[in-house]
Structure 1
Amino acid sequence: MGFFVLLAVEAGAISSELAEATGEGGFGLNFNLLETNLINLAIVIGLLVYLGRKFLGGILADRTSTIEAAIRAAEERRKDAAAALAEEQQKLAQAQAEAERIRASAEEAAKAAREAILAQAERDVQRVRETAVQDINTEQERAILELRRRVAALALQRVESQLAGNLNESAQQRLIDRSIATLGGR
């Protein structure tokens, strides 16, 4: 505290000298050592250095230790962050490998499903073809039977009409006898 009082007294003396110098009509240099207070300034500066060294040294030492602790903490955080980054990169690589495996599995499943669908579609087409062929064959047989029935009916009608016109009593008797002989001859 005394140091600052001494400093204030010196500053007041310097400012009063400056005021006197400007009041006399100008500014000049005074080379008289006792009047310019150079000795007093040297003593004040010496005291500042001597007393300030302990004060500033303690502050600087505290500040230095605080900075060193902050640097050590930052270095620890950097190491922790690097370890966390490496761990997360490893997790990312695992996740990417898993995603690739899932994608490959999905592609295989899609390919197998596509092949199964195509095979089932081929079987369905074949079954439809076979059913269509069977339906066509059934309809064809039915049409043929119907045609045969109609042809037989028409043939009978024609034979009956021809027989009725061409067949007399003696021709009917010969036909019957021939039919009996054929049946009896077996």
Structure 2
Amino acid sequence: MSIMGTVLLLATESEGGFGLNFDILETNIVNLAILLGILFYFGQKVLTNTLSERSSNIEKTIVEAETKAKEAAIALSEVQQKLTQAQAEAQRIIQTAENNAKASREAILAQATEDVQRLQETAARDLDTERDRAIAQLRQQVVAMSLQKVESELQAGVAEDTQQKLIDSSIALLGG
């Protein structure tokens, strides 16, 4: 059976089943056709306006998105440039800090060397002073002992020839 035969079979079925009704007045096909025509005629303008409005909104949104994307790309470029500059500045600061640290270290070492040298010189002067004082004290003791010995010998009496030698040596010392 063909499709047309099936449609006719359904159309002839009249008792409570499904079928096609070809009565134009009863089915309101004319009314439906007029309604569809009016909807098509007036709906076309509304649909066209709605679609064109929607299309323009979409285009506007796309343009805004592209503009924002360009602005974001520019901002990203600027931020990357600032980041590069900040990294360069950080490197410069680190280098300066390292140089300052080296200079400070060298200055501290030089000062420490000067302090050690000054302490050594002070210690050497103190040692020399103590040695000179000890020598002076020893001389005083030797002189005191010599004077005591001379006094004791003088009290015991000096021989004539010893007195003469002493006087001669004293005159020789005086340049006479």
TM-score, scaled to structure 2: 0.76
- The answer as to 2:54 corresponding to 1:31 is no
1:73 to 31, 55, 64: 64
> Structure 1 unaligned runs (5+)?
1-26
Amino acid at match of 2:75: A
TM superposition shift of 1:144: 1.2
Which structure would you say has the larger RCO, counting Cα contacts within 8 Å and 6 or more residues apart? 1
TM superposition shift of 1:43: 3.4
Instruction: Say which is worse superposed, 128-137 or 150-159, in terms of deviation.
Output: 150-159
| Residue 91 of structure 2: aligned partner | 100
> Structure 2 unaligned runs (5+)?
1-15
The alignment of Structure 1 onto Structure 2 pairs a total of residues equal to 156
Report the CA distance shift for 1:106/1:182 in structure 2 as closer, same or farther (over 3 A): closer
Amino acid at match of 2:115: D
For residues 74 and 21 of structure 2, the distance between their equivalents in structure 1, rounded to whole angstroms, comes to 70
| Residue 175 of structure 1: aligned partner | 162
Q: 1:125-140, aligned counterparts within 5 Å?
A: 125-140=116-131
| Residue 7 of structure 1: aligned partner | none
TM superposition shift of 1:76: 1.3
Q: 1:47-126, aligned counterparts within 5 Å?
A: 47-126=38-117
| Residue 5 of structure 2: aligned partner | none
Amino acid at match of 2:121: E
TM superposition shift of 1:175: 2.8
Percent identity over the alignment is 50
Amino acid at match of 1:177: Q
Amino acid at match of 2:166: S
TM superposition shift of 1:183: 5.1
For residues 95 and 142 of structure 2, the distance between their equivalents in structure 1, rounded to whole angstroms, comes to 69
| Residue 9 of structure 1: aligned partner | none
| Residue 14 of structure 1: aligned partner | none
For residues 19 and 131 of structure 2, the distance between their equivalents in structure 1, rounded to whole angstroms, comes to 144
For residues 85 and 117 of structure 2, the distance between their equivalents in structure 1, rounded to whole angstroms, comes to 47
For residues 119 and 90 of structure 1, the distance between their equivalents in structure 2, rounded to whole angstroms, comes to 43
The alignment yields a C-alpha RMSD, in angstroms, of 2.3
